[in-house]
Structure 1
Protein backbone atom coordinates (compact mmCIF):
# COMPACT_ATOMS: atom_id res chain seq x y z
CA UNK A 1 0.00 0.00 0.00
CA UNK A 2 1.19 3.52 -0.75
CA UNK A 3 2.04 5.92 2.05
CA UNK A 4 0.18 9.14 1.20
CA UNK A 5 1.18 12.37 2.94
CA UNK A 6 -0.66 15.57 1.99
CA UNK A 7 0.48 17.70 4.93
CA UNK A 8 1.76 20.33 4.47
CA UNK A 9 -0.59 21.05 1.60
CA UNK A 10 1.21 20.49 -1.74
CA UNK A 11 0.92 23.78 -3.63
CA UNK A 12 1.82 23.35 -7.29
CA UNK A 13 3.15 25.87 -9.80
CA UNK A 14 2.92 25.84 -13.59
CA UNK A 15 4.12 28.32 -16.18
CA UNK A 16 0.98 30.46 -15.85
CA UNK A 17 -0.88 29.28 -12.76
CA UNK A 18 -0.72 28.36 -9.10
CA UNK A 19 -2.64 25.37 -7.79
CA UNK A 20 -3.37 26.21 -4.16
CA UNK A 21 -5.49 25.07 -1.24
CA UNK A 22 -9.16 26.00 -1.44
CA UNK A 23 -10.27 28.53 1.18
CA UNK A 24 -13.65 29.50 2.57
CA UNK A 25 -13.21 32.82 0.78
CA UNK A 26 -13.48 30.83 -2.47
CA UNK A 27 -17.03 29.73 -1.64
CA UNK A 28 -18.91 32.40 -3.68
CA UNK A 29 -16.81 31.77 -6.80
CA UNK A 30 -17.09 28.01 -6.34
CA UNK A 31 -20.85 28.27 -5.90
CA UNK A 32 -21.02 30.28 -9.12
CA UNK A 33 -19.19 27.49 -10.94
CA UNK A 34 -21.08 24.60 -9.33
CA UNK A 35 -24.43 26.19 -10.25
CA UNK A 36 -23.53 27.23 -13.81
CA UNK A 37 -25.57 25.10 -16.27
CA UNK A 38 -22.70 25.19 -18.80
CA UNK A 39 -20.39 23.53 -16.28
CA UNK A 40 -23.02 21.20 -14.83
CA UNK A 41 -24.26 19.98 -18.21
CA UNK A 42 -22.23 16.76 -18.17
CA UNK A 43 -21.54 16.32 -14.45
CA UNK A 44 -24.82 14.48 -13.89
CA UNK A 45 -25.52 15.72 -10.38
CA UNK A 46 -27.68 18.46 -8.97
CA UNK A 47 -26.10 21.94 -8.90
CA UNK A 48 -25.31 23.69 -5.65
CA UNK A 49 -28.00 26.21 -4.72
CA UNK A 50 -26.71 27.72 -1.46
CA UNK A 51 -23.47 29.09 -0.11
CA UNK A 52 -23.82 26.66 2.79
CA UNK A 53 -23.52 23.71 0.41
CA UNK A 54 -20.34 25.08 -1.07
CA UNK A 55 -18.73 25.96 2.26
CA UNK A 56 -19.52 22.43 3.45
CA UNK A 57 -17.84 21.07 0.33
CA UNK A 58 -14.69 23.10 1.02
CA UNK A 59 -14.70 21.73 4.58
CA UNK A 60 -14.91 18.16 3.23
CA UNK A 61 -12.10 18.85 0.76
CA UNK A 62 -9.95 20.24 3.59
CA UNK A 63 -10.68 17.18 5.71
CA UNK A 64 -9.87 14.81 2.84
CA UNK A 65 -6.40 16.35 2.56
CA UNK A 66 -5.94 16.07 6.33
CA UNK A 67 -6.97 12.40 6.11
CA UNK A 68 -4.68 11.83 3.09
CA UNK A 69 -7.63 10.47 1.12
CA UNK A 70 -7.84 13.15 -1.57
CA UNK A 71 -6.44 16.49 -2.65
CA UNK A 72 -8.19 19.29 -4.55
CA UNK A 73 -6.57 22.49 -5.74
CA UNK A 74 -7.96 25.86 -6.70
CA UNK A 75 -6.52 27.13 -9.98
CA UNK A 76 -5.46 30.78 -9.79
CA UNK A 77 -3.05 33.19 -11.46
CA UNK A 78 0.07 34.20 -9.48
CA UNK A 79 -0.86 37.88 -9.80
CA UNK A 80 -4.47 37.30 -8.69
CA UNK A 81 -4.44 34.42 -6.21
CA UNK A 82 -7.92 35.26 -4.86
CA UNK A 83 -9.59 34.89 -8.27
CA UNK A 84 -10.65 31.25 -8.62
CA UNK A 85 -10.56 30.07 -12.23
CA UNK A 86 -11.46 26.46 -11.51
CA UNK A 87 -10.58 23.38 -9.51
CA UNK A 88 -8.77 20.12 -10.11
CA UNK A 89 -8.07 17.23 -7.80
CA UNK A 90 -7.06 13.67 -7.18
CA UNK A 91 -10.24 13.52 -5.19
CA UNK A 92 -10.39 9.77 -4.55
CA UNK A 93 -7.03 8.23 -3.69
CA UNK A 94 -7.06 4.42 -3.45
CA UNK A 95 -3.74 3.84 -1.70
CA UNK A 96 -4.20 0.07 -1.63
CA UNK A 97 -4.38 0.04 -5.43
CA UNK A 98 -1.83 2.82 -6.06
CA UNK A 99 -4.58 4.57 -8.01
CA UNK A 100 -6.55 7.82 -7.86
CA UNK A 101 -9.44 9.44 -9.69
CA UNK A 102 -8.99 12.87 -11.21
CA UNK A 103 -11.77 15.42 -11.43
CA UNK A 104 -11.85 19.03 -12.59
CA UNK A 105 -14.02 22.03 -13.39
CA UNK A 106 -13.31 25.37 -15.02
CA UNK A 107 -15.31 28.59 -15.30
CA UNK A 108 -16.51 29.03 -18.92
CA UNK A 109 -14.72 32.40 -19.16
CA UNK A 110 -11.46 30.44 -19.27
CA UNK A 111 -12.42 27.60 -21.59
CA UNK A 112 -10.26 26.93 -24.67
CA UNK A 113 -7.24 28.74 -23.23
CA UNK A 114 -5.21 25.70 -22.20
CA UNK A 115 -5.86 26.32 -18.51
CA UNK A 116 -7.01 22.82 -17.59
CA UNK A 117 -4.43 21.13 -19.79
CA UNK A 118 -1.65 22.96 -17.96
CA UNK A 119 -3.17 22.20 -14.57
CA UNK A 120 -3.73 18.54 -15.43
CA UNK A 121 -0.10 18.11 -16.49
CA UNK A 122 1.05 19.41 -13.09
CA UNK A 123 -1.39 17.22 -11.17
CA UNK A 124 -0.38 14.09 -13.09
CA UNK A 125 3.29 14.84 -12.48
CA UNK A 126 2.56 15.22 -8.77
CA UNK A 127 0.51 12.03 -8.71
CA UNK A 128 3.10 9.90 -10.44
CA UNK A 129 6.35 11.45 -9.24
CA UNK A 130 5.50 12.52 -5.68
CA UNK A 131 2.65 10.23 -4.62
CA UNK A 132 4.07 7.34 -6.68
CA UNK A 133 0.68 6.36 -8.08
CA UNK A 134 0.59 3.55 -10.63
CA UNK A 135 -2.55 4.77 -12.42
CA UNK A 136 -5.04 7.62 -12.58
CA UNK A 137 -8.62 7.22 -13.77
CA UNK A 138 -11.35 9.58 -14.92
CA UNK A 139 -15.10 8.99 -15.16
CA UNK A 140 -16.64 10.92 -18.05
CA UNK A 141 -20.09 11.42 -19.55
CA UNK A 142 -19.72 10.12 -23.15
CA UNK A 143 -21.17 13.37 -24.52
CA UNK A 144 -18.50 15.49 -22.84
CA UNK A 145 -16.22 15.68 -25.86
CA UNK A 146 -14.08 18.51 -24.44
CA UNK A 147 -13.19 16.45 -21.38
CA UNK A 148 -12.52 13.37 -23.48
CA UNK A 149 -10.20 15.33 -25.78
CA UNK A 150 -8.35 16.73 -22.77
CA UNK A 151 -7.77 13.29 -21.31
CA UNK A 152 -6.70 11.79 -24.63
CA UNK A 153 -4.28 14.66 -25.18
CA UNK A 154 -2.56 13.66 -21.94
CA UNK A 155 -2.33 10.00 -22.87
CA UNK A 156 -5.42 8.59 -21.17
CA UNK A 157 -7.02 5.64 -22.89
CA UNK A 158 -10.59 4.39 -22.71
CA UNK A 159 -10.65 1.52 -20.25
CA UNK A 160 -14.36 0.78 -20.07
CA UNK A 161 -17.73 1.87 -21.41
CA UNK A 162 -20.57 1.23 -19.00
CA UNK A 163 -24.04 1.24 -20.54
CA UNK A 164 -26.81 2.86 -18.48
CA UNK A 165 -24.94 2.35 -15.21
CA UNK A 166 -25.87 5.71 -13.67
CA UNK A 167 -29.37 6.90 -12.78
CA UNK A 168 -29.98 10.65 -12.75
CA UNK A 169 -33.15 12.70 -13.09
CA UNK A 170 -35.28 9.77 -14.16
CA UNK A 171 -33.01 8.28 -16.80
CA UNK A 172 -30.15 5.81 -17.05
CA UNK A 173 -26.91 7.31 -18.38
CA UNK A 174 -23.75 5.79 -19.83
CA UNK A 175 -20.26 6.33 -18.40
CA UNK A 176 -16.76 6.08 -19.85
CA UNK A 177 -13.74 5.24 -17.70
CA UNK A 178 -10.39 6.55 -18.89
CA UNK A 179 -7.08 5.62 -17.34
CA UNK A 180 -3.43 6.56 -17.52
CA UNK A 181 -0.56 4.42 -16.24
CA UNK A 182 2.55 5.85 -14.66
CA UNK A 183 5.31 6.58 -17.20
CA UNK A 184 7.38 4.03 -15.26
CA UNK A 185 5.11 1.27 -16.58
CA UNK A 186 6.25 2.02 -20.13
CA UNK A 187 9.99 1.73 -19.43
CA UNK A 188 11.50 -1.09 -21.55
CA UNK A 189 13.52 -2.54 -18.66
CA UNK A 190 10.36 -2.98 -16.60
CA UNK A 191 8.54 -4.65 -19.49
CA UNK A 192 11.47 -6.98 -20.07
CA UNK A 193 11.67 -7.91 -16.40
CA UNK A 194 7.97 -8.71 -16.36
CA UNK A 195 8.33 -10.88 -19.49
CA UNK A 196 11.23 -12.80 -17.91
CA UNK A 197 9.10 -13.69 -14.90
CA UNK A 198 6.35 -15.26 -17.02
Structure 2
Protein backbone atom coordinates (compact mmCIF):
# COMPACT_ATOMS: atom_id res chain seq x y z
CA UNK A 1 0.00 0.00 0.00
CA UNK A 2 1.52 3.33 -1.07
CA UNK A 3 1.39 6.33 1.22
CA UNK A 4 1.38 8.72 -1.73
CA UNK A 5 4.33 10.69 -0.40
CA UNK A 6 5.63 11.47 -3.90
CA UNK A 7 2.65 13.75 -4.54
CA UNK A 8 1.82 14.95 -1.01
CA UNK A 9 1.89 18.76 -0.79
CA UNK A 10 0.97 20.87 2.25
CA UNK A 11 -0.01 24.48 2.87
CA UNK A 12 1.45 25.49 6.23
CA UNK A 13 0.52 28.99 7.35
CA UNK A 14 2.51 31.36 5.14
CA UNK A 15 4.33 28.53 3.31
CA UNK A 16 3.76 25.90 0.65
CA UNK A 17 5.49 22.53 0.97
CA UNK A 18 5.82 20.31 -2.11
CA UNK A 19 7.95 17.22 -2.81
CA UNK A 20 11.27 17.86 -4.55
CA UNK A 21 10.94 17.95 -8.36
CA UNK A 22 13.42 18.14 -11.24
CA UNK A 23 12.72 21.85 -11.75
CA UNK A 24 13.89 22.59 -8.18
CA UNK A 25 17.55 22.10 -9.14
CA UNK A 26 18.50 25.77 -9.48
CA UNK A 27 16.92 26.70 -6.14
CA UNK A 28 18.47 23.71 -4.42
CA UNK A 29 21.85 24.56 -5.92
CA UNK A 30 21.60 28.10 -4.55
CA UNK A 31 20.48 26.85 -1.11
CA UNK A 32 23.10 24.13 -0.68
CA UNK A 33 25.82 26.11 -2.43
CA UNK A 34 25.97 28.40 0.61
CA UNK A 35 28.80 27.17 2.88
CA UNK A 36 26.99 28.33 6.02
CA UNK A 37 23.81 26.44 5.10
CA UNK A 38 25.85 23.26 4.46
CA UNK A 39 28.14 23.75 7.48
CA UNK A 40 26.53 21.08 9.69
CA UNK A 41 25.19 18.91 6.86
CA UNK A 42 26.59 15.68 5.49
CA UNK A 43 27.34 17.35 2.17
CA UNK A 44 29.91 19.86 1.06
CA UNK A 45 28.53 23.06 -0.46
CA UNK A 46 27.28 22.26 -3.94
CA UNK A 47 29.50 23.35 -6.81
CA UNK A 48 27.53 21.96 -9.78
CA UNK A 49 23.92 21.76 -10.84
CA UNK A 50 24.43 18.01 -11.32
CA UNK A 51 24.89 17.68 -7.54
CA UNK A 52 21.49 19.32 -7.02
CA UNK A 53 19.98 16.83 -9.47
CA UNK A 54 21.50 13.97 -7.44
CA UNK A 55 19.79 15.26 -4.29
CA UNK A 56 16.49 15.55 -6.17
CA UNK A 57 16.87 12.00 -7.48
CA UNK A 58 17.49 10.80 -3.90
CA UNK A 59 14.39 12.64 -2.64
CA UNK A 60 12.23 11.39 -5.51
CA UNK A 61 13.28 7.77 -4.93
CA UNK A 62 12.77 8.14 -1.19
CA UNK A 63 9.19 9.35 -1.62
CA UNK A 64 8.34 6.86 -4.38
CA UNK A 65 9.34 4.00 -2.08
CA UNK A 66 7.53 5.48 0.96
CA UNK A 67 10.87 5.62 2.79
CA UNK A 68 10.52 9.34 3.45
CA UNK A 69 9.65 12.66 1.87
CA UNK A 70 11.59 15.86 1.33
CA UNK A 71 9.46 18.95 0.73
CA UNK A 72 10.59 22.25 -0.73
CA UNK A 73 9.58 25.35 1.21
CA UNK A 74 8.18 28.35 -0.67
CA UNK A 75 5.94 31.27 0.07
CA UNK A 76 2.68 31.04 -1.92
CA UNK A 77 2.98 33.02 -5.13
CA UNK A 78 6.78 33.20 -4.88
CA UNK A 79 8.79 30.70 -6.91
CA UNK A 80 11.95 31.08 -4.76
CA UNK A 81 12.93 27.95 -2.86
CA UNK A 82 13.82 29.04 0.68
CA UNK A 83 14.51 25.64 2.23
CA UNK A 84 13.55 22.00 2.55
CA UNK A 85 11.98 19.93 5.31
CA UNK A 86 10.77 16.39 5.68
CA UNK A 87 11.44 12.87 6.79
CA UNK A 88 14.73 11.38 5.62
CA UNK A 89 13.85 7.96 6.96
CA UNK A 90 10.55 6.31 7.81
CA UNK A 91 10.42 2.94 9.55
CA UNK A 92 7.14 1.05 9.77
CA UNK A 93 8.31 -2.56 10.13
CA UNK A 94 8.73 -3.36 13.84
CA UNK A 95 8.54 0.36 14.66
CA UNK A 96 6.66 3.53 13.78
CA UNK A 97 9.34 6.18 13.63
CA UNK A 98 10.73 8.83 11.34
CA UNK A 99 13.76 11.08 11.17
CA UNK A 100 12.90 14.73 10.58
CA UNK A 101 15.39 17.06 8.90
CA UNK A 102 15.28 20.64 7.66
CA UNK A 103 17.35 23.46 6.24
CA UNK A 104 16.74 27.07 5.34
CA UNK A 105 18.46 29.74 3.29
CA UNK A 106 20.49 32.14 5.37
CA UNK A 107 18.31 35.17 4.53
CA UNK A 108 15.43 33.51 6.42
CA UNK A 109 17.34 32.41 9.53
CA UNK A 110 15.92 33.82 12.77
CA UNK A 111 12.59 34.82 11.18
CA UNK A 112 10.45 32.03 12.68
CA UNK A 113 10.04 30.10 9.43
CA UNK A 114 10.84 26.69 10.91
CA UNK A 115 8.94 27.48 14.09
CA UNK A 116 5.85 27.92 11.93
CA UNK A 117 6.47 24.89 9.71
CA UNK A 118 7.82 22.27 12.13
CA UNK A 119 4.60 21.78 14.17
CA UNK A 120 2.72 20.94 10.95
CA UNK A 121 5.41 18.53 9.78
CA UNK A 122 5.36 16.83 13.18
CA UNK A 123 1.54 16.63 13.13
CA UNK A 124 1.74 15.07 9.65
CA UNK A 125 4.19 12.49 10.99
CA UNK A 126 2.23 11.66 14.11
CA UNK A 127 -1.27 11.74 12.61
CA UNK A 128 -1.09 11.07 8.86
CA UNK A 129 1.81 8.61 9.08
CA UNK A 130 0.84 7.26 12.54
CA UNK A 131 4.40 7.56 13.82
CA UNK A 132 5.01 6.83 17.48
CA UNK A 133 8.42 8.51 17.54
CA UNK A 134 10.14 11.27 15.58
CA UNK A 135 13.89 11.64 15.79
CA UNK A 136 16.35 14.28 14.67
CA UNK A 137 20.10 13.90 14.25
CA UNK A 138 21.98 17.16 14.87
CA UNK A 139 25.66 17.69 14.23
CA UNK A 140 27.43 18.82 17.37
CA UNK A 141 27.80 22.60 17.32
CA UNK A 142 24.51 23.37 15.56
CA UNK A 143 23.00 25.30 18.47
CA UNK A 144 20.18 26.83 16.37
CA UNK A 145 18.87 23.40 15.44
CA UNK A 146 19.09 22.15 19.02
CA UNK A 147 17.13 25.16 20.29
CA UNK A 148 14.44 24.71 17.60
CA UNK A 149 13.93 21.06 18.50
CA UNK A 150 13.81 21.76 22.23
CA UNK A 151 11.20 24.52 21.70
CA UNK A 152 9.06 21.94 19.90
CA UNK A 153 9.10 19.25 22.57
CA UNK A 154 12.14 17.20 21.58
CA UNK A 155 14.47 15.84 24.25
CA UNK A 156 18.19 15.38 23.86
CA UNK A 157 18.67 11.63 24.26
CA UNK A 158 22.41 11.33 23.81
CA UNK A 159 25.53 11.82 21.75
CA UNK A 160 26.71 9.34 19.16
CA UNK A 161 30.46 9.92 19.13
CA UNK A 162 32.15 9.79 15.71
CA UNK A 163 28.85 8.53 14.33
CA UNK A 164 29.18 9.94 10.84
CA UNK A 165 31.96 10.57 8.35
CA UNK A 166 31.84 13.33 5.75
CA UNK A 167 34.00 16.23 4.62
CA UNK A 168 37.07 14.16 5.45
CA UNK A 169 36.41 13.67 9.15
CA UNK A 170 34.21 12.02 11.77
CA UNK A 171 31.36 13.96 13.39
CA UNK A 172 29.49 13.52 16.65
CA UNK A 173 25.71 13.44 16.27
CA UNK A 174 23.24 14.52 18.92
CA UNK A 175 20.11 12.37 19.01
CA UNK A 176 16.86 14.18 19.74
CA UNK A 177 13.53 12.40 20.10
CA UNK A 178 9.88 13.16 20.63
CA UNK A 179 7.06 10.71 21.19
CA UNK A 180 3.50 11.17 20.02
CA UNK A 181 1.18 12.58 22.66
TM over 0.5: yes
Q: Deviations over 1:54-86 (max 9, x none)?
A: 112212211221111111111111121x21110
Please state which structure has a larger fraction of its residues in strand.
Answer: 2
Structure 2 residues without counterparts, runs of 5 or longer: none
Secondary structure of the residue aligned to 1:38 is: coil
Distance in 1, Cα, partners of 2:113 & 2:2: 27
Runs of 4+ in 1 over 6 A off after TM superposition: none
Name the stretch that deviates more: 56-65 or 141-150: 56-65
Distance in 1, Cα, partners of 2:73 & 2:4: 18
Q: Give the equivalent residue in structure 2 for 1:54.
A: 52
Q: Do residues 84 (structure 1) and 81 (structure 2) align?
A: yes
Q: Give the equivalent residue in structure 2 for 1:181.
A: 179
1:133 CA drift (Å)? 0.3
Secondary structure of the residue aligned to 2:76 is: coil
Distance in 1, Cα, partners of 2:144 & 2:135: 16
Q: Which is greater in Rg?
A: 1
Please state which structure has a larger fraction of its residues in helix.
Answer: 1
Distance in 2, Cα, partners of 1:4 & 1:101: 19
Q: Do residues 73 (structure 1) and 52 (structure 2) align?
A: no
Q: Give the equivalent residue in structure 2 for 1:143.
A: 141
Q: Give the equivalent residue in structure 1 for 2:92.
A: 95
Q: Give the equivalent residue in structure 2 for 1:30.
A: 28
RMSD: 1.6
